[in-house]
């Protein structure tokens, strides 16, 4: 059996608040990456009625758009909206800010885009801090 040496494109970052969740997204995002992230969020919803979320995007290489329209993913998105108080998106491609501005009026959560250089401001906006990575 071969071991997959490709690191995951979605990685959870521990925070200093139980109800604050953070994810780092890199590379090309696949259906399994999206399903993994929604699985982690489903666990968060079991523990907390409402959460704050920060998504940090860097080295973005694209997205498997067919993954966005799978039944499980659409259910995850719909379920997520009612549980998220604030969502900060840091970095990513240029169109992210425009997409957030377009959809913001239709969402029940507060959502804001921050440039990569504004990382500290994004963490402050959700009121949490990343914990050091285990060595």
**Could you identify the residue written with the tokens 């071969």?**
2
- Of 19, 6, 98, nearest to 54 (Cα)? 19
Nearest-angstrom CA–CA distance, 27 and 36: 15
Q: Has residue 75 got a pLDDT over 80?
A: no
Q: Has residue 74 got a pLDDT over 70?
A: no
- Residue 104: what pLDDT? 81
**Could you identify the residue written with the tokens 């801090």?**
129
What would the pLDDT profile of 36-49 be if each residue is shown by its tens digit?
A: 888 888 889 889 99
CATH class of 10-126: alpha beta
Nearest-angstrom CA–CA distance, 13 and 39: 15
pTM, whole model, 2 decimals?
Answer: 0.83
What would the pLDDT profile of 23-35 be if each residue is shown by its tens digit?
A: 999 888 887 787 7
SS3 24: strand
* CB count in 10 Å sphere of residue 122: 22
- Residue 1: what pLDDT? 41
- Of 28, 5, 38, nearest to 93 (Cα)? 28
């Amino acid at each position: 059996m071969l071991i997959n040496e490709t690191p995951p494109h979605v990685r959870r970052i521990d925070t200093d608040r139980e109800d604050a969740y953070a994810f780092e997204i890199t590379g090309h995002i696949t259906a399994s990456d999206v399903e993994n992230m929604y699985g982690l969020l489903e666990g968060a919803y079991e523990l907390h009625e409402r959460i704050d979320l920060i998504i940090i995007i860097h080295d973005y290489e694209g997205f498997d758009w067919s993954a966005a329209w799978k039944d499980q993913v659409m259910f995850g998105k719909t379920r997520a909206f009612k549980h998220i108080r604030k969502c900060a998106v840091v970095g990513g491609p240029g169109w992210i800010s425009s997409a957030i501005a377009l959809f913001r009026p239709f969402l029940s959560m507060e959502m804001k885009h921050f440039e990569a250089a504004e990382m500290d401001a994004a963490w402050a906006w959700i009121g949490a801090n990343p914990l050091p990575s285990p060595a």
